[in-house]
Amino acid sequence: MIEAGLFLLFTYLFAAVPTGPILATLYADVDITSAGSGNTGATNVHRLLGPRFGLATLLGDLAKGCVPVLLAPAVTDWVHFPSVVAITTFAGHCWPPYLEFKGGKGVATVAGALIGLAPFVALLTAAAWMIAFLLGRRSSLAALAAAIVLPLCTLWLRPDLLITAVVFMLGLFHRHRANIGRLLSGSEPKTE
């Protein structure tokens, strides 16, 4: 039990490492938290620093979700522990202590956690993201579409993970509150 608790603490602190701000500061001397949208995720990094940095941020944030989930079964055989770890990665990314608890939206970290938990669910959810993005050219709209599809795919393929999927859906909608307002008013910028 102590090992599981320590692993959750490690997971939170690991997932809280702000990939985008670190890359932007080290390689471009840009404070990503006060530029563009101020968000720490791949979309803002891509807009400000280009696709190479955006992709690096995306991969880092995916790893923050995936790696702890893949390691979780080695810590304890409790069947729900990987799900708890997955939710912890989301919390760490979105509310990092290193940035005064002001982190990213959590989309890539959720995707990484899903790759570790349920790869086929992750694949279908990613397909929904891609279709919505190609149709609307807005990453926030794509994220919300993927969030809606996630519990449906989970119910179909992995009903044992439905509670986790619903937590992710609600969390993603919560993190995108401002985007939802801009989408409804027609002022949400497109992602190039």
Task: Give one DSSP letter per residue of 125-137, joined into a string.
Answer: HHHHHHHHHHHH-
What are the tens digits of pLDDT across the range 164-185?
Answer: 999 999 999 999 999 999 999 9
Token couple for 119 = 């790869």
Do residues 113 and 165 touch, judged by C-beta distance below 8 A? no
Cα 57 to Cα 23, 51, 160, 173, distances in angstroms: 7, 10, 31, 21
Token couple for 158 = 């992995």
Q: Does the predicted TM-score (pTM) go above 0.85?
A: yes
Domains of the chain by residue range: 2-185
What are the tens digits of pLDDT across the range 106-154?
Answer: 999 999 999 999 999 999 999 999 999 999 999 999 999 999 999 999 9
